[in-house]
Amino acid sequence: MFSKILIANRGEIAVRIIRACKEMGVATVAVYSEADKNALHAALADESYCIGGPEASESYLNEEAIVSTAMVAGAQAIHPGYGFLSENAHFARLCRKNGIVFIGPDPDSMERLSDKAVLKELIKTTGLSVIPGSKAVASAGEAKAAAARIGYPVMLKACAGGGGRGIRLIRTEDELDEAYHQATSEALSAFGDGSVYLEKYIFPARHVELQILADEQGHAVCLGDRDCSLQRRNQKLLEETPSPAVDEYRRRRIMELAVDAVKKIGYVGAGTLEFLLDGEGNFWFMEMNVRLQVEHCVTEMLTGFDLVKWQIRIAAGIPLDFTQEDIRMKGSAIECRINAGSCGTLKMLHVPGGPSVRFESSLVEGTTVSPYYDSLLGKLIVYAKTREETLRKIRASLCELVIDGIPTNIEEQLQIVEDDRFVSGEYDLTFMGNR
């Protein structure tokens, strides 16, 4: 096991990783930008270093500064969290070059799996159904030819995408030229890679994903599914596990296929396979996230397994000490993402409590929300033995959560969990568009 780990991130995920390390007896190193000099993650870590200006490009995306800091601090490994450098193969190689373990998949695997068009061709060999689509298209003309072959409507997506960026729905050929220009420009700005591909638009559909863990010794397990259909502009707002749209037979079958697929592609680490679930209960593979997901907490609450600790153990070469038969998915868990509506300074914070209520955040009174980073303030997660009880618990917890001084979406989240469609479990990706 590592004796010291550097966390190359900020906010609630940096705090989450620091806590896991402390529980494992591992020393921690935090890096922070000038804007985050008073941030909680910098205060909680055993050592903290300022690595640059407030812009992410000057600090949390500054690969050389992060690796240099790890070497000076004597950290044997770097945990990237999610976002920033978490899926950057060049950064993973830089870590390896300097004798530092990158807590995540190896750079070759990351590079191979991060290109969604290439990944789909690979997944086709595993037995999972893949959404009909194209390889990367180099021009609007190529995109039109591919769309005609696939059939409208289609989705135009960034090959190196994530977080809902670089995605456009195209219903007719007349929309394609403008959509192609917008999607490629957005993808280039967000990921430094403007390549895009097309896939068939499945409607109506739900977004359901599967959490996996795989070690270096060839063992892999699936820790169940998460329903992430509550989205606005492809940005997730709320997640729950298990999905109310998946029966036990389909759940067990897709979990088996996911484990087999992960083994066949030789993946190691924590990862997520994302699917669209159509109205007939068919799973269509979309993409794979080769990192920790924001919504990993609901899986932890349901199964009792600490995904962050297992990420670290796997990176240290430690095999999984449990099998698929050891995973029990009894009950229900829901997570609400609490986002800031604008910048501001936190005047008062009150966090709900009680059994199986969890608030993942880096907020403390006096925290200033700056314009430089993501708007996520925290994640409210609850668990109960039944979905009905979980719904009551999340409503009560949202009512008790107080974040004063910063505009938030708490009231909107309360409206969502009280909506009849959500309560019944009869919702899909159109939910936010119909509110």
3-state secondary structure 112-161: HHHCHHHHHHHHCCCCCCECCECCCECCHHHHHHHHHHHCCCEEEEECCC
313: helix, strand or coil: helix
Amino acid, res. 356: S
Torsion sign, CA atoms 413, 418, 424, 426:
negative
Do residue 19 and residue 87 come from a single domain?
yes
Query: In this structure, are 142 and 28 located in the same domain?
Result: no
Q: Amino acid identity, residue 63?
A: E
Asked whether residue 421 is assigned to any structural domain, the reply reads yes
In a domain, 110, yes or no: no
Whether residue 394 sits in one domain with residue 265: yes
234: number of Cβ within 10 Å: 17
Q: Does 346 lie in the same domain as 224? A: yes
The answer to whether residues 347 and 406 belong to one domain is yes
121 belongs to a structural domain: no
Residue 231 pLDDT > 90: yes
> Could you tell me if 95 and 231 lie in one domain?
no
Q: What's the pLDDT at 426? A: 96
Task: List 35's β-bridge partners, or say none.
Answer: none
**Listed residues 103, 120, 141: the one ending a domain:** 103
Asked whether residue 245 falls in the same domain as residue 295, the answer is yes
Instruction: Give the domain extent around 186.
Output: 132-200
Report which of 207, 204, 201, 132 is spatially closest to residue 170, judged by C-alpha positions: 201
- On whether residue 273 sits in a domain, the answer given is yes
Q: How many domains does the chain have?
A: 3
- The reported pLDDT for the residue numbered 361 is 98
Residues 214 and 192 occupy one common structural domain: no
Residue 248: per-residue pLDDT = 95
On whether residue 111 sits in a domain, the answer given is no
**Same domain? 151 vs 65:** no
Q: Are residues 306 and 172 in the same domain?
A: no
Marked catalytic residue, from 112, 168, 251, 291: 291
The CA distance from 45 to 307, in Å, is 20
Contacts (Cβ under 8 Å, ≥6 apart) of 56: 33, 84, 372, 373
In a domain, 114, yes or no: no
Domain assignment present for residue 125? The answer is: no
**Do 257 and 404 share a domain, yes or no?**
yes
User: Which comes out higher in pLDDT, residue 189 or 55?
Assistant: 55
pTM: 0.92
For residue 291, indicate whether it is catalytic. Answer: yes
Q: Both 86 and 142 in a single domain?
A: no
For residue 254, pLDDT over 90 is answered with yes
Query: 354: exposed, middle or buried (C-beta count within 10 Å: 0-12, 13-18, 19+)?
Result: exposed
Q: What is the pLDDT of residues 27-78, one digit of tens each?
A: 999 999 999 999 999 999 999 999 999 999 999 999 999 999 999 999 999 9
